[in-house]
Amino acid sequence: MFYLEGYQLLLTIMAAIAVGSLAGYFGRQSLARREADSVETKVLKIIEEAKDKAKEILLAAKNKAVEILEDAKKEEQEHLRILSRSEERLEKKEVSLEQKIQELAGDKKVLEQKVNEVKSLKTEIEGIKNEQFLKLQKVAGFSVDEAKQQLFQRIEEESKAELVEKMRKFEELNKEELDKKARDIVILSIQKIAVSQAVETTTSIVNLPSDELKGRIIGREGRNIKAIEQLCGVEIIVDDTPEAIIVSGFDPVRRQIAKTMLDKLISDGRIHPGRIEEAFEESRRDIAIKIKELGETAVYEVGLTALNPKIVQLMGRLRFRTSYGQNVLLHSIEVAHLAAGIAGEIGADIALAKKAGFLHDIGKALDHEIEGSHVDIGVNILKKFNVSEDVIAAMKSHHEDYPYESIEAIIVGVADAISASRPGARKDTLENYIKRLTELEAIANSFEGIEKSFAISAGREIRIFVKPDKIDDLGSIKLSKQIAEKIEEQLDYPGEIKVHVIRETRAVDYAR
């Protein structure tokens, strides 16, 4: 019984627990359902608010779009109004142009009519003129050309004195102005340089401490002097000149090598074929070094850069080369400075004129070894070492072997003539001097009407006396020009020659 009651109590407790659990479960379910309903309500509320917000944004966007559309319509209307006004202006201009074209067409027709009328009048006038000319020719008995010739002859005869006077004044004025300008340019150019000139010949003198060395230089049976001459390619002259021997040769470099070698042998005291060969090699090396130094010094003095070392070496050789006694290297330096000065005065290319002037005689460094004129040799040298064509064109015309191709070429020729013809620069032999004077007088005497002529001022001036009954004043002017032109064609001379034509008229009468 007791056991049964305990079992019922247990069942009662278990039922109570079960009822409690069910009640808790259903309570939780109810609470969850209420919370879910609250969240759904909030979500729906948020959705409604979002829909309202979206409607507001959409409405604002529509309003903005409407405003933009209205602004665009306004701008379009404004553009249309502007285009309409432009079209109106263009139409007005087109109408105006059409009117002007029509007016021009009318004017053109009028002008064409007038031109045709003028042409017809001109033809008629020409016909009348020809008829009048024919009538005049018949009446006068000669043609128009004959009438012109007679008229000109009469005018020339009547106004010959006046014409001569005007020609003289015109020539004097132009000559004075040109001479003054030329003198100014040349003087300014010459003032910028000062180059000394050493007058040399084809011989060099070697001084000896005593005459006893002459025998040692000759050697036994002449072996020493033969060895020297064979090695150096020169001639050794041993004469009665006290304490000196002479080295003669056309090649100035060989002559300088021989002179240097003799100085070494004399100072050393040993003179025999073996020592002569050693001294020759030493002298040749020394001269080669000296030539290089001389070339570099000249290039530095002139102020040139970027010259090929071979060209510098050849320019150094010119220090031992002379032309009519004028040292060619010093002459080249002088020509470079003169050409640069003249180019600067007249606005030419200074650098080009200077370089061409410096290199114009480079062919003389090899003219003893290569056939041809020094101009052609120089051109070939410069082409070989890729010197610019402008420099070659400017230097090759300095003796007028080639035509002048630039103003710089003329400047180089003028500078070369100035350097060669200035006082003290060159010397000439008596034979050449007399020959030039004779040829100058012969040219003057070859013209008709010449009474006598005299070459004076060392051949730089010639005075010609004409027969006054055969040559008048106008003929004297013409004769001076003809003689000057013939001298330029036939004679080769430095500088210029002044031609004077003198006509003297004497009137003699007697009072009885």
Residues near 205 by Cβ (< 8 Å), separated by ≥ 6?
244, 245, 246, 247
Instruction: Give the span between the Cα atoms of 392 and 399, in whole angstroms.
Output: 13
Tell me which DSSP letter residue 422 carries: S
CATH of domain 203-421: 1.10.3210
CATH of domain 430-503: 3.30.300.20
One digit per residue, the tens of pLDDT, for the chain of length 512 reads 444 455 556 666 676 676 566 656 665 666 666 766 777 788 888 888 888 888 888 888 888 888 888 888 888 888 888 988 888 888 888 888 888 888 888 888 888 888 888 888 888 888 888 888 777 777 766 676 777 777 777 776 666 666 666 666 666 666 666 666 666 665 555 555 544 444 445 567 787 887 777 788 888 878 888 888 888 878 888 877 787 888 887 777 788 888 888 888 888 778 888 888 888 888 888 888 888 888 888 888 888 877 888 988 888 888 877 776 678 888 889 889 888 888 888 888 889 989 999 998 888 888 777 778 888 898 999 999 888 999 988 898 888 778 888 888 888 888 888 887 665 556 555 566 677 788 888 888 888 888 888 887 667 788 898 888 888 888 888 888 889 888 888 887 666 788 888 887 766 677 76
Residue 233 main-chain phi, psi, to 5 deg: 70, 35
> What's the predicted TM-score (pTM) here?
0.48
Residues 99-106: contacts with CB under 8 Å, at least 24 apart: none
Residue of 276, 247, 250, 273 lying closest to 261 (CA atoms): 276
Distance (Å) of CA 159 to CA 70, 147, 156, 469:
98, 18, 5, 19
